[in-house]
Amino acid sequence: MTERLVIIGNGMAPGRMLEHLLEAAPDRYQVTIFNAEPRVNYDRIMLSPVLSGEKAFEEIVIHGDGWYIKHGITLYKGHKIVAIDRAAKTITSDRGVTEPYDKLVIATGSVPFIIPVPGKDLPGVLTYRDLDDVNAMLLAAQSRAKAVVIGGGLLGLEAAAGLKEQGMDVTVLHVMPTLMERQLDPAAGYLLQRAVEARGIKVMTKANTKAIVGNGRVEGLELADGTIIPATLVVMAVGIRPNTAIAKDAGIDTNRGIVVDHGMRTSDPDILALGECAEVGGQVYGLVAPLYEMARVAASRLAGDEGAGFVHSDTPTKLKVTGIDLYSLGDFADGEDREEIVLRDAAAGIYKRLVLKDNRVIGTVLYGETGDGAWFNDLKKKQTDISEMRDTLIFGQAYQGGSPLDPMAAVAALADDAEICGCNGVCKGKITGAITQKGLTSLDDVRAHTKASASCGSCTGLVEQLMSLTLGDSYNPTAVQPMCKCTDLGHDDVRRLIKAKGLKTIPEVMQELQWKTSCGCAKCRPALNYYLVCDWPDEYADDYQSRFINERVHANIQKDGTYSVVPRMWGGVTNANELRAIADVVDKFEIPLVKVTGGQRIDMLGIRKEDLPAVWSDLGKAGFVSGHAYAKGLRTVKTCVGSDWCRFGTQDSTGLGIRIEKFMWGSWTPAKLKMAVSGCPRNCAEATCKDVGVICVDSGFEIHFAGAAGLDIKGTEVLGLVKREDEALEVIVALTQMYREQGRYLERIYKWAKRVGVAEIRRQILDDVPRRGEFYERFVFSQKFAQVDPWSERVSGKDKHEFRPLATVTIAAE
C-alpha cells in the first residue's frame, strides 16, 4: 500500500533526497511538498552568479514544474507550515491546507542572523539567503548608489562582488581582523582582502556596527568608533541559525538544530529532518556536501534500508567569485603537536599552507592556485603518511616521485576513490566509469549522470581533465576553446561576461575582456555582433561592417564574383504577380540563370554587384522582402499543401508554415535555420531532417528539431506532441529563442542540442510551461527591434552600404 510522505521545505537537500528515493523506491510513497517560497527547487549556492548577472534564475533551477508532474508529486508553492499535529499525523499551512502523513520530513533550512542594532528594521536593510533577497538587491542596485555589506565571510563577499558587478559602490565591514577567519588563516585572509579591494570594493576589518541610521529608510551606518558610512542599502551576511521553530512547537527535541540520529530520525520515529535545520552528532551544517549526504541517508531509510547512516567528513570551502581562487579544508589552527609547510609566491599572488600532525595532512589552505586541492583532500581523508614526500609535498601531486608531471598525468595518478566533486561526493572512479559505460562525451552528460560539477562548478576543470584522459583525442571541449586568436576566452565565457558586465558595444567588449588585437578579426567580430544583437535588442545598433559580405549586400556571392538573389516566398507559396515581377527583373538585368531551390524559393543567379540595389528596388515594389538565403537566421519554412488540398492531409500545414515564417522572419540566430511543416506522416515537406520540423497528425502537431541534411546527415529528435496550432507556434518560437540565447556563433542547432542535451531542452520547453513562456516573450520583444534590411528599404541617394532604421516586424499572428 502506498504511504503518504509529506515534506516541509523544497531546498537542495530534500530535492536530492527525492532523487535518491525515486530511484530506490519509486512507487512506495505518494509525495506532497510544502514550500514557503513561491517557486520550484533551485541551486541556492549559485545565487551569487545570479546576483552578479552571470546567470539567470532559470539556469539554476534544479527541478522545474515538469519534474514534479512527471513523478506525480504535489507541490504547494508559497505555503508556510504553521502547525504539526503529531497525534493526528497532519500538518497545516498558513493558507489553511491540512495534509495527513505517514512519514514526515522537516527540511526548513536556516534563517539569517540579524544584528540587534538600532535601525535593523529600516527599509533598505536586507539579508542574503534566497531568491527574494537577490531580487531585492538587484532592484536596489539599479540606483548605482552606495551599499554596505556587514560580514566578511563567504556570503558577505559573494554579495559584495555581485553588487559591485551591478554598479554599486560597495563597502564590506568585518568585525574580525581578517576576512573569512573561520576558513582561512591570516595570511590567506590578507591576500583575499587585497584581491577584493583590487575589484574596487572597500574593506574595513575590526569594524563593529553600532547602528543603521536613516529617516524612513537607510541613509548610512554608524560604527562603534563613531565613523559614519553613507549607504542606501545594507546587507547583513553575518551568519545563519537552524530554523527549528516548527519542530520545537510540535514537541520534537531541538538543541542548536532539530536533533536527529545518524539515520536522520528525530525524537518522533515517523518524522525525519535534514539539511541546515538538522543537528546530527552534535553538529549543524551549512555546506552542500554534508546536506547531500543527509539526503542520501534519509532516502535510504525511507526506502527501508535501516543500515544507512550519516558519517561526518570535512568539506572544502570555496569562494564563488569569478577570478578569486581559494580552497580551505580541515584544521589549520596552531598547536604544539603540529607543523606546517608554507609556500609563498608574492609575484604570482600564490599562498599555500599545509598543516601536519604525525606526518599526516590535517589542514590545507590554498590561495591563487588550487588545482591540488582534491589531492590534498585525498591525503587527509586516507590519513596517508607523507614522510617520503615531505620535501616536495607543498609543490603538489605533479612533483611527487622525481621529475614534474604534466597536469594530465597528475590527474591520472589520482586513485579511483579520490574525491573530485566535494559538493556531491563524487569520486574519480564514478566519473570515469560513467564515461566509459554510458558512452558520455560531453560535460553536460557527465553532470547529468554523476552530478559532478553540477553544483558550485569549481571542480569543472578536473572533470574536463578526466574526460580528456578517458576519451583521449575523441574529447573535444569546445566550451574552453578560444573564439579566435584575438582572445583566450571561449564563446560561452564571452556571452556570459557580456551579460554580467553589461557590455553593449564591440569596442567595450574588447576593452573590458582584454582583447589581444585592436579591432578583432573576421571570426570574432561577427560573433560579437550577433551576441550583442541577441542580448541587447533594444539598445545595440547592428554593426553591418561586422557582418559577412553576403549579409551586407543581401545576396550570396558566387565563385565568379556575381551574386544570387532569393526573394522570400512565405511558406513556398507564390502568385502570378510575384512571378511576373521576377520575370521582369530577370529580363531587365539579363540574369543568366533562374533556379528553384530546395527550400521552395526562386533563386536568380549571376547578378552584378552594382545591379543589386536596383534589383532589390524592383522586387520591393512587387512586395518582396529578402529571403535571407545568406543569413545566420531563419531562411525558409518548407511546406506541403496540407489538408486544404491533399487527401491525406490532417492539418493546414501550408497555413502553419506561413504563420511561422511571418512571425519569425528577420530574426538572427547563431547559424542558419531551416524549417518545414508536413501535413501528414508521409512527410512530403521533409520535416524530419530540418533544424525545426512539424509533422501534422490527427491528434495535433508533432514538433521535431535538431536534424541535418548537409555535411552531416541526421534525423530529427522528437521534442513532443502538442494539440493546438497556437501551442505549436509558441513551442517553436521558444525553442528558437533558447537556441538564440545559448548557441555559440556558427553552431547549428543539432550541435547545440547535442551539447545541451535533448532531455534538458525538452524539460525547459515542454515540461516547464512558465519558462517556455519567458523564452517566447523574449523572442517577441527582440522582434520589435529586428532590422531586416532588404535593399528596398535603403535611403534613396545615400551610399549603397548605408541602411536606415527599418519598420518594426509585425508580431501579431496572421
Phi, psi (5° rounding) for residue 392?
Answer: -115, 0
CA nearest to 363, candidates 411, 412, 327, 330 = 330
Q: How far are the Cα atoms of 246, 374, 377, 387, 467 from residue 415, in angstroms, in the given order? A: 44, 11, 12, 19, 15
| Cα 382–Cα 385–Cα 390 angle in degrees, nearest 5 | 125
CA 592 to chain centre: 51
Tell me whether residue 684 is annotated as binding.
yes
CA 399 to chain centre: 36
Residue whose entry in the numeric block shows the C-alpha cell 528596388 = 617
Q: Contact 384/361 with Cβ under 8 angstroms?
A: yes
Tell me whether residue 646 is annotated as binding.
yes
HEC-encoded secondary structure of 556-593: EECCCCCEEECECCHHHCCCHHHHHHHHHHHHHCCCCE
CA 687 to chain centre: 30
- DSSP secondary structure letters along 150-182: E--SHHHHHHHHHHHHTT-EEEEEESSSSTTTT
Beta-bridge mates of residue 363:
330, 355
Helices (H), 113-153: 131-141
CA 88 – CA 745 distance, rounded (Å):
60
Sign of CA pseudo-dihedral 110, 114, 120, 125: negative
Sign of CA pseudo-dihedral 274, 275, 279, 282: positive
CA 507 – CA 523 distance, rounded (Å):
15
Give me the amino acid identity at 73.
I
CA 92 – CA 501 distance, rounded (Å):
45
Q: Contact 103/302 with Cβ under 8 angstroms?
A: yes
* Kind plus residue range of the DSSP H or E element containing 326: strand 326-330
Tell me whether residue 680 is annotated as binding.
yes
* Kind plus residue range of the DSSP H or E element containing 279: strand 278-280
| Cα 758–Cα 444–Cα 308 angle in degrees, nearest 5 | 110
CA 615 – CA 105 distance, rounded (Å):
72
CA 378 – CA 687 distance, rounded (Å):
53
Tell me whether residue 519 is annotated as binding.
no
Residue whose entry in the numeric block shows the C-alpha cell 518594426 = 808
CA 142 – CA 133 distance, rounded (Å):
15
Q: Mark the binding-site residues for [4Fe-4S] cluster, compressed into ranges.
A: 640, 646, 680, 684
Q: Mark the binding-site residues for siroheme, compressed into ranges.
A: 684
